[in-house]
Amino acid sequence: SRVLEGKAAIITGASSGIGLATVKLFIDSGATVLGVDLSTAPSAVPLGENFQFHQVNLTEASAASSIVAAFASAFPSKANIDILVNNAGIMDNNEGVDTLTDDVYQRVIAVNLTAPIKLMGEVVKIMKQNGGGSIVNVSSKAGSSGASAGVAYTASKHGLLGATKNTAWLYKEDSIRCNAISPGAVRTNIANSMDMARMDLSSSMKMAPVIACHVNTQTGAGAAGPEVAAQAILFLASDLSKGITGAVLPVDNGWSVI
């Protein structure tokens, strides 16, 4: 059904995995979407009046303001950014505090925590002036568990939940809702980066070994498709979840009960 008819959204990490599945689902649901990614625009989604793309590295100081400016020029008839999905993220390599390098730490925190906070800042200013909106942050099982990844990724995803709850609390009178999903293992490029041969060594997208305990990376058994996470994002982004804010929704086929 077209639960996002007339809504305009920004989705980060739009070129791959959960972000790409969310772009497709949002467009099918009636939304107008600005996709954002470090990588090039996804070839699976044609550019047109319902989809535009802004290529930017989210760790650049000017990224958040450039995204909001790109939205305004892509969709001049849309006064509000109704929906923000902070989805872009990178893995660490399961380093603990004793093996963590400053480089991995800085990059993981910059992409997974600082960038979503800064983008929420720019978007909340616009939502406040236009009657509110809905923000969905993509955290992780590692946002509540200490046993799912390295310290940088774990701290970044815990931190993102803190930012989600604080934003939900501070802007509830502005009709801005802010929620998070916590996926378990999802078949995406992050999971594929376990295969070192296919790994992009220019990025820090590496797979924490713990995921391998739960997922057979050859078959993908135990991991969900990205569409499953996208469905949960759609629910939290849309008016179907009216009244829900500051919530964290596990999307992990029951892994969260451990």
* 105 in active site: no
| Min dist. Cβ of residue 70 to ligand NAD (A) | 13
Cβ closest to ligand NAD, residue 158 vs residue 172: 158
The contact set with ligand NAD (CB under 6 A) reads: 13, 15-19, 37-39, 57-59, 87-90, 111, 138, 140, 183, 185-186, 188-191, 205, 226
| Min dist. Cβ of residue 133 to ligand NAD (A) | 20
- Exposure class string for 156-184: b at 16+ Cβ within 10 A, else e: bbbbbbebbbebbeebeeeebbbbbbbbb
Query: Which region, left, alpha or beta, applies to residue 30 given φ > 0 means left and ψ of -120 to 50 means alpha?
Result: left
User: Is the Cβ–Cβ distance between 199 and 193 less than 8 Å?
Assistant: yes
Cβ closest to ligand NAD, residue 31 vs residue 232: 232
* 157 in active site: yes
User: Is the Cβ–Cβ distance between 5 and 30 less than 8 Å?
Assistant: yes
Q: How far apart are CA 194 and CA 209, in angstroms?
A: 8
Identify which of 156, 233, 223 has the alpha carbon closest to the alpha carbon of residue 188: 223
| Min dist. Cβ of residue 166 to ligand NAD (A) | 19
User: Is the Cβ–Cβ distance between 41 and 35 less than 8 Å?
Assistant: yes
Angle at Cα 141 formed by Cα 134 and Cα 229, nearest 5°?
50
In the chain, the N- to C-terminal Cα span, in Å, equals 34
Residues 24, 141, 157, 206: which is the catalytic one?
Answer: 157
Partners of 54 in the β-ladder: 36
Cβ closest to ligand NAD, residue 76 vs residue 257: 257
| Min dist. Cβ of residue 74 to ligand NAD (A) | 17
Strands 133-138 and 8-12: unpaired
| Min dist. Cβ of residue 22 to ligand NAD (A) | 9
Residue corresponding to tokens 């996208």: 230
Residues 7, 24, 118, 153: which is the catalytic one?
Answer: 153
Cβ closest to ligand NAD, residue 97 vs residue 212: 212
Cβ closest to ligand NAD, residue 172 vs residue 214: 214
Alpha helices, DSSP H, located in the chain: 17-28, 63-74, 102-109, 115-129, 151-170, 189-192, 209-214, 226-237
Active site members: 153, 157
